[in-house]
């Protein structure tokens, strides 16, 4: 539905739908790879949730992984199969990352019970003064080796679909023809639909 004029979207042709899926999968694979790198760095350097950078690593892992599962205007989100897992640990890690992104790290969701603000009153013999302390929730139980496995699993899934899709949409002879027609040695293309 168009937000401005409230008209339903035009139905994509099969080729346009395939190109959008290609974009979603390629973007998701890059997000999974970035999240994998965050997990690898955490495992190598941070290691514990008491480290001063723990919050930064967990929030960036949640946001980076979940980016592939949010609705992108004009393109949509990944197919439902990327939300399903036969491995319980992968499924739990996936859901924890998505939930944490939405409730803790990407939004200030005051409805989440873990968000608290404490008002602290101090006084001496003459005055009372107040301060506050925000309790920033720490996501416990995030096991970065599981995030690493999840990202590797999702990257492999996306790779399995991407290679044949590229060949289907742009057979090698078509790309060579395009390059010759443009008299260019450029190897990158803008994906238009």
| pLDDT tens-digit series, residues 86-144 | 999 999 999 999 988 888 887 765 555 455 667 777 777 777 777 777 666 666 666 89
Q: Where are the domains of the chain?
A: 14-182
The residue ranking higher by pLDDT, 6 or 11, is: 11
Mean pLDDT rounded to a whole number for the chain: 80
Structure tokens at 119: 């008002």
Please give the Cα distance from 15 to 170 (Å, whole number). 11
As given in the structure block, the two tokens for residue 39 are: 């997990």
Within the chain, how many helices (H) and strands (E) appear? 5, 2
* Three-class DSSP category at 132: strand
Asked if the model's pLDDT at residue 42 lies above 90, the reply is yes
Distance CA 24, CA 43 (A): 28
| Strand pairing report for 116-123 and 128-135 | antiparallel
Q: Is the pLDDT of residue 176 over 80?
A: no
Residue 193 has a pLDDT of 46
Task: Give percent of the chain with pLDDT exceeding 90.
Answer: 37
The model's pTM: 0.74
pLDDT tops 70 at residue 187? no
Confidence of residue 66 (pLDDT cuts 50, 70, 90): very high
Task: List C-alpha distances in Å: 8 to 70, 74, 78.
Answer: 20, 12, 21
Beta bridge partners of 154: none
What is d(CA 55, CA 132) in angstroms, rounded to the nearest whole number?
A: 20
Inter-residue contact 114 to 137 (CB < 8 Å): yes
**What phi and psi values does residue 42 have, to the nearest 5 degrees?**
-60, -50
Q: Give 166 or 40, the one with higher predicted confidence.
A: 40
């Amino acid at each position: 539905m168009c937000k401005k004029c409230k008209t339903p979207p035009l139905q994509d042709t099969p080729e346009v739908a395939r190109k959008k899926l290609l974009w979603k999968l390629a973007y998701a694979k890059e997000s999974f790879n970035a999240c994998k790198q965050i997990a690898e760095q955490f495992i190598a350097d941070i290691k514990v949730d008491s480290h001063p950078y723990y919050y930064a690593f967990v929030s960036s892992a949640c946001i980076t992984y979940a980016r592939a599962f949010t609705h992108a205007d004009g393109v949509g989100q990944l197919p439902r199969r990327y939300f399903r897992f036969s491995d319980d640990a992968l499924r739990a890690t996936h859901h924890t990352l998505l939930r944490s992104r939405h409730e803790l790290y990407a939004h200030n969701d005051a409805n989440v019970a873990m968000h608290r603000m404490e008002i602290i009153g101090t006084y001496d013999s003459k005055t009372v003064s107040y301060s506050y302390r925000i309790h920033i929730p720490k996501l416990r139980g995030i096991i970065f080796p599981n995030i690493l496995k999840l990202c590797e699993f999702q990257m492999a899934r996306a790779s399995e679909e991407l290679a044949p899709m590229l060949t289907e949409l742009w057979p090698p002879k078509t790309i060579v023809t395009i390059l010759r027609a443009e008299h260019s040695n450029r190897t990158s293309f803008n994906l238009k639909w």
